[in-house]
Amino acid sequence: MKADVLLFTQTMHSLLSSFLPLQSALAVCKEVLTGKAEKKFTAKVLKKVNEGKKFSNALSDEKLFPPLYVSLVSIGEESGTLPEVFGHLGAYLNGKRNMRRKIIQALIYPALVLATAIAVVFILTVFVLPRLEGIFEAFTNSSENIETQISKIKTGSFVSIIILFGFMAILTVCLAARRLNAKAALAIDSVILRIPLIKDFAMTMQMHDFSFAMKLLTQTHFPLPKSLAYAKNVLSNIRVQKAVESACKSIACGKGVGKAFEDEKVFPEYLTAWIKIAEENGEAAEAFNQIFNYYQNESESLLTSITQAAEPVFILITGTVIIAVIAQFVIPVFNLLGTL
């Protein structure tokens, strides 16, 4: 079981904000946290810090934290702003967890509908149809016609099951390919950014994470190009991440930051406009704070719209499933009853 990173982050923020030294904060954190995984993890980090290892390196060794998290902690160590860094990280991780919960809640209903549809079709095909076949044969002499009709119903039911499982298999293969193959991940993420509605949600989530990282990095007075190199690690969409890498290369070759982002043709106009403003007035931290606030509001608005639209959409899905079952099984069975 993995340690709860959010709980660890929030606890460390509280302890460090109370002006406890890092080693004392880790020792108290180990005692305060009740989960076995959290205690074990914190004890390992404390041991490495006591042995003289940097706190950020000790966190990196545990493979629980994304590169950006470790980078920000490292910056906090060097600048003496660890309490502020943990405060920002705690708020960010808490917001991400709330978003994830809302998305999961919105997906529970369709997942249950799909599972129910598969179960109903399977039960009807495997258990109900064979018994009905025997009943029909007992009441009529034209068993050959009955067998033909039952065979058609079975075929239709199996086709429905194959279609459902085929869709799930394709989705599973895509997810596996995205995880295991870099080219496949780039292709899939590029397609995601072209699908209407989905691309808006995906880009909003990416810009929310990216602007948060840039806000924290620029607040610590990191140069803009160096901040971009760190911040790209927070992006989960490979196409967007590659676009940031390409923009960084263009900046290193002497192109302006705003122009480099604009030329990638991936980033929203709102982002590129504010980057140009930051480049002109030198207030990168304020610009990315504005960008983050905008995308935070946008992401919350999108999630609210999705959850509100979920109920009528899923009612429609349920109705479609019921109609399909009736058309595939109930109507043919009643037709057979009419021939008796």
Residue 193 to residue 205: CA distance in whole angstroms: 12
Residue 141 to residue 281: CA distance in whole angstroms: 91
Q: What is the distance between the terminal CA atoms of the chain, rounded to a whole angstrom?
A: 60
CA of 79: how far to CAs of 85, 215, 232, in Å?
Answer: 10, 16, 22
DSSP code for 265 = S
pLDDT tens-digit profile of 275-291? 888 888 878 888 888 99
More confident residue, 173 or 122: 173
Average pLDDT over residues 243-270: 89
* Per-residue confidence band for 1, with pLDDT thresholds at 50, 70 and 90: very low
Structure tokens at 291: 């960008």
Q: What is the pLDDT of residue 123?
A: 76
* pLDDT tops 50 at residue 269: yes
- The amino acid at residue 317 is I
HSE (CB half, 13 Å, CA atoms) of 270?
Answer: 13
Task: Select from 217, 48, 21 the least CA-distant residue to 57.
Answer: 48
**Number of residues written out for the chain:** 340
- Biggest CA–CA distance in the chain, Å, is 91
* pLDDT tops 70 at residue 149: no
Residues 6+ apart with CB under 8 A from 279: 224, 256, 257, 258
| Contact in structure between 12 and 4 (CB atoms under 8 Å) | no
Average pLDDT over residues 217-224: 77
| Contact in structure between 285 and 81 (CB atoms under 8 Å) | no
pLDDT tens-digit profile of 72-119? 888 788 778 888 889 888 888 887 788 778 777 777 776 777 677 667
pLDDT above 90 coverage of the chain, percent: 10
Structure tokens at 53: 């290892």
DSSP labels, 268-286: -HHHHHHHHHHHHHS-HHH
How much is the mean pLDDT over the chain?
80
Phi/psi class of residue 3: alpha, beta or left (left: φ > 0; alpha: ψ in -120 to 50)?
Answer: beta
Q: Which of 94-98, 297-301, 309-313 has the lowest mean pLDDT?
A: 309-313
Residue 69 to residue 67: CA distance in whole angstroms: 5
Secondary structure class of 35 (helix, strand, coil): coil
DSSP labels, 16-80: HHTT--HHHHHHHHHHH--SHHHHHHHHHHHHHHHTT--HHHHHHHTT-S-HHHHHHHHHHHHHT
Helix (H) / strand (E) element for 297: namely: helix 284-325
DSSP labels, 213-251: HHHHHHHTT--HHHHHHHHGGG---HHHHHHHHHHHHHH
Residues 6+ apart with CB under 8 A from 264: 243, 246, 247
Q: Which domains does the chain have, with CATH numbers?
A: 5-94 (1.20.81.30), 117-340 (no CATH)
